[in-house]
Structures are given as C-alpha cells and as structure tokens.
Amino acid sequence: MEPINIFSRMAEPEKVVRVLRDFGLEFLQDGGDRDWTKIVVPVEIEGVDSTLIITHSVEYYSEPNWSAQMAGMRGYFSRFPPSDNREQAMCLTTTFRFSLGTIFEPDFNPEGDVRLDIVFQIAEMLDGVLFTPSGLRDANGRILLSVDEDDHDPEAVWPKVIGRLHIDRSALSSKGEEEEYLESEEVEPPAADRVARRTLALAAVTMRALLEQDAQDPEANEVYQEMLKWLEGIDLQDELEPDEWKVVQRPLGKLQPQDQINATWRFEGLGVLAWALGLFEIPDCDQLVDTNVLLRACGMLDVELSQQILENPQLRPLEELQAKQKQLFALHWRLRNYDLDSKVMDFEEFARKCWFGPLSIDGLTIIDGDLGLFDKRLDQANEEEFSLAYSTARERHLAINWLCDGPFLYSEADEST
C-alpha cells in the first residue's frame, strides 16, 4: 500500500491526541499534547498484533523548509494530467500549515482496517487531506486527484478552505494553459540532501527495471521484495515522481516494455548523480555504467549505508559541476548534430570558434579532429555504437543540468542542445 501523509491548514497536534482518546485506545505518546513527536497505537486486527505510528515534526512545517516543501508539492501535482481538480489541488497547498506522517505495521488492508478509520478521523477533524504518491484523497480516503486522469470520486469532499495561487499569465506558453507554470515552484539547483534523496530514489527505479529482465526467476522476486523494504526503510517514497512510482510498484513481469527501457536508461543519469556525491566515477561516453558497482555505491538493499549517504551528503563544488555540465553539453551537441547531418567536422576548431561557444571538449576523445567513439572517429562507429553513445549522452546531460539548474522535478530538467 502507498504511504499516507496528512496535510491540513489547522496546526493543532493536541487535537490528534484528543481523537485517539475519543477512540478509547491505549497509546504511547512521545512528548506533551502539543509537542509530541511520535504516537504509537497498538491494536489487534483479526488476531494479529498491529500498530499505527503517527509522526509529527514542527521543524518540517516551519520555515524555510515548509515553503520549499509546498513548492515541491505543486511541482509534483503539475505532472498530473491537466484538470480542474489539479488546479484546485495546487491552490489547496497554499492553505496548508501542518503535516503528519503515518506508518502501518504490518501494512494496512484497504478493504477494512481500524487503523485507517483512525487516520480518516484525524484528517476529518483537521479538515485535511491524505497525500499519497499516486494522488490526493479526502478525509475518508476518496480520490480527489489521481495520476489517472479520470480516476477521481465525484463524492470526494474538498476541505472547507481551498486558497488562492497566483499564476504568472505572461509566462503562458503558446501551446496553451497546459504549459503554464507556477511562480512559487522551486527552480534553484538542488541542495546536497535533495541530491542524495533523488540519487537513491533513482537507484530504486533503475533496479526495478533491471529486475524485469529476470521476472520469471523466483530469486528476482525475492530481491524485488527486499528492494521495496529498503525503499520503505529509508523513507524515500515521496521522492518518486508519479511515473517512477508506477514503475517501482509494478509487479515483476508486468512492466510495459517502453517503461522498462526508459527506466533502464536512467542508470546513466544515476551515475552522474552518484558522481556528484563522490560515490562513483562516470565512465567514458561510449561506455555504459557498471550497474552492479553503481547500485552498491548507492547502498542498494543496505539501509545502514543508505542512511549514511542521506545523513551526510557531500556534494562536489558548483564550479566542478558546471565544468562537467559544459563537457556533457558539448558531447550531446556533437552527437545530436551528427544524428541530424551525418558529416565529419573539425570538432576541435568548431569548439573554439562557434558562436555559442567556446565548447568545453576537455576529457572527450578526439580522433582526426572529430569526436571519437570506441577508439575510432565518430563516422566510423556502427549504428548500434552511435545509438548507445547518443542515449548515454542525453541521460547524462539531463542529470547534470538538473544538478546545476533544477527544476524541482528531475524528469523536467533541460536536455536541449
């Protein structure tokens, strides 16, 4: 089941305690009625000892973190299909002042679980909503907004206050309102802690794609289950974008071929993110990353190592990232240029004198003046070799642009040349 977080305009943690007392349940509370950080509610469900854990962090919904989180949520919703409900959800984020996390051990049964009733009651008391990776639900679990355009419940009830959000009308694309952006959306380069979270989330996406190759192997399914536990153990589900969430949650053997291909290529961007954190070295442009080495470097299936990466991320200096950005731009430009017009050129001379340059080709292989691939000049590479280098360059270019320029969503980073 998807993780559930409660968001509300009412920052009243003491009311959560009151709801639990009204249920007549015994529970363990870490702190006073207003400053508690965790509440553990033990219940027995069909003879099984179960718990609901509710988490509360004042720091999370305090500034400057809260504005960044809400901008991120709006950026997240902007990836959903255009609809009135999407715009209403974006406006709703401007009213949020409070958040709670929930943990179900073992996972809840959506068809009937007293722990869900407790969560619903808390959300209703706070006039709040339930946020999950696939969308937004009302206080009774009915769908308000979903990644599936038509999958919303007409009986779902929005909170009493929706709020307002300023749209910069001068920035609307000629393609129409589907391209409009929100002024409050984060467009700054990601900080080290965000890079670490995105790196490990992308590791989960790419490993899921890799496991699809062995979907019929029982051992692959065991590894897949371990991966899901690892992802939950490091609490990164909210870092996954909607399309990524669907890839990760799809049972083995059920991934669409194109989704598998797209997610597998993300390994090349993952290599750049891991390099930025000092965990991995980026191979040459005509060499794919070693997936096993890369996943180990990211702490895949090792919760302790992954937590260390998340708790103390060390990002390379911006100047070093920007130098790599210039190199990967030059590489991607040359490959795209050759793909459009398959002619040999004096790339060295062009890099020095081009009107949008100079281009940084330090570290690239140059053979007879032009880009070299697989120890031969670009034009002598076969179709498969060129395609491999081109796809690799595109993914790495997107990753380095996200590191240097944002935006909030990794998939929306610029990869143009």
Q: Could you read off the pLDDT of 121-130 as tens digits, one per residue?
A: 999 999 999 9
The reply to whether the predicted model has a pTM over 0.75 is: no
3-state secondary structure of 82: coil
User: Which of 162-176, 192-206, 275-289, 358-372 bottoms out in mean pLDDT, i.e. has the lowest?
Assistant: 162-176
What is the longest distance spanned by two Cα atoms in the chain? 80
Cis peptide before 283 (omega within 30 of 0): no
Instruction: Report d(CA 216, CA 202) in Å as an integer.
Output: 24
> Residue 162: what pLDDT?
62
Helices (H), 93-217: 114-125, 192-211
Q: What angle is formed at CA 338 by the lines to CA 332 and CA 342, rounded to 5 degrees?
A: 170
Q: Give the count of beta carbons closer than 10 Å to the beta carbon of residue 161.
A: 12
Question: Are 204 and 240 in contact, with CB atoms under 8 Å apart?
Answer: yes
Specify the pLDDT at position 269.
97
| Whole-number Å distance between alpha carbons of 294 and 206 | 11
Flag whether pLDDT at 23 surpasses 70.
yes
DSSP string covering 246-315: HHHHSPTT-S-HHHHHHHHHHHHHHHHHHHHTTS--PPPTTS---HHHHHHHTTTT-HHHHHHHHHS--P
Q: For the range 353-362, what are the long-range contacts, defined as Cβ-Cβ under 8 Å and sequence gap of 24 or more?
A: 359/326, 359/329, 359/330, 359/333, 360/323, 360/326, 360/327, 360/329, 360/330, 361/327, 361/330, 362/327
Token pair for 101: 């996390």
* Per-residue 3-state assignment (H helix, E strand, C coil) for 32-49: CCCCCCEEEEEEEECCEE
pLDDT value of position 236: 87
Q: How confident is the model at residue 175 (pLDDT cuts 50, 70, 90)?
A: very low
Which letter, b or e, does each residue of 24-41 get, where b requires 16 or more Cβ atoms within 10 Å of its Cβ?
eeebebeeeeeebeebeb
